Amino acid sequence: MKRLLIITSFIAMLGIAAFIFTEANHIDTGYIISVTEKDIWLVRDNEQNIQGKTEEKLKEIYKFKGTNYDTDRIPSFVKEKLEVAQNVSVFSDGKTNASAPSQNEATFLIILK
């Protein structure tokens, strides 16, 4: 039984690694400044400039900066944990739409803090 569990875990890890290296070839790490049911707005800045500010204030400060990531491919149990001012790494295909803020589709997401 233990051996079956180890083999299954190994196969699952290989599957996740294959997905990340084929579907997600761009990694963007930053802070969430806005969260909706369908997307997150991510900016690269330091924690001191993000913490303690409301979502409305952050949107005003970073009006044309960062990337708006569509989160349709992120599992709901992960999306439920996303909050403004969280530090995350977002994996994507790297194909951003030219807009301000830029737009992309998140394929994988890791909550760092």
Query: How much is the average pLDDT of 91-111?
Result: 77
- pLDDT at position 93 is 77
Residue 110 binned pLDDT confidence (cut-offs 50, 70, 90)? confident
Q: Would you call the peptide bond into 101 cis, given omega within 30 degrees of 0 as the criterion? A: yes
- Selected residue with higher pLDDT from 96 and 91: 91
Could you report the per-residue pLDDT of 35-74, keeping only the tens digit for each?
Answer: 988 999 999 988 898 889 988 999 888 888 888 898 888 8
Q: What's the CA gap between 62 and 11, in Å, rounded? A: 41
Mean pLDDT estimate for the chain: 82
Max CA pair span of the chain: 55
Write down all domains in the chain, each with its CATH number in brackets: 26-111 (2.40.50.140)
CB atoms within 10 A of CB 96: 17
CA dihedral in degrees (77, 79, 84, 85; nearest 10)?
70
Residue 98 binned pLDDT confidence (cut-offs 50, 70, 90)? low
| Bridge partners, residue 87, by sequence | 31
28: which residues sit within 8 A by CB, 6+ positions away? 42, 44, 67, 69, 89, 90, 92, 104
